[in-house]
Amino acid sequence: MTIVMAPARAARQTDDDRDCCPGPPPVIMIIKRSRLILSTTRLILSTTRLILSTIRRLFPAGQAGKILTTDEHRLVERFSQRNGIPVDWAVEGEPEPLLPAQANALYRIAEEALRNVERHAEASRLTVRLSYADGVALNVQDDGEGFDPEVVEPNRYGLVGIRERAALVDGQVTVVSAPNEGTTLTVRIVEPWED
């Protein structure tokens, strides 16, 4: 009878353990969840690599600076034709490699700076420089009305947007202006990102 009782006792003990802690033992659950997290992480990593590879093929880093130079020149020409304001445009230095995000940010900042000149400055002359020395810098200078950079009307978001866009690519923004003395906007990316 002891032989019969031992398996029955073992069965009861296993049932008692299940009643106490339903489901698989905690260690097995931790292992299963860890495997799921690991496979999900691998999937995210491979997807990210695929996206980055596609971006690099579409926008090679070495070309972004050259594309920026060409696009900004077109932007400045269109501005001049539309407003009849002569623009002195120049590129100084050899275009450095930029990531597409950096080139796009500088282009959009130039676009907003020209829009601000068009809407607010009443300028008769404009100078736009794209300088590749110690990083890359965009400089937009007008001879318009100017303003106090510390006192910007609440419904004006151009400078706020420029500062936010520059911050996204580690850019530094400097605005020098005073009433009746024109405005100079400089955006500098000191260390262009690397792949």
Q: Taking the chain (195 residues) in consecutive chunks of 10 residues, what is each chunk's mean pLDDT?
A: 47 51 75 91 88 65 61 88 92 84 90 92 93 91 91 79 92 94 94 59
The residue behind tokens 């969840």 is 33
Q: Which CATH number fits domain 61-189: 3.40.630.30, 3.30.565.10, 3.40.50.410, 3.40.1160.10?
A: 3.30.565.10
What pLDDT shows up at residue 51? 82
Task: Read off φ and ψ for residue 67, nearest 5 degrees.
Answer: -65, -45
Tell me if 158 sits within 8 A of 112, measured CB to CB: yes
How large is the angle between the packed helices 100-116 and 61-83, nearest 10 degrees?
10
Q: What is the pTM of this model?
A: 0.65
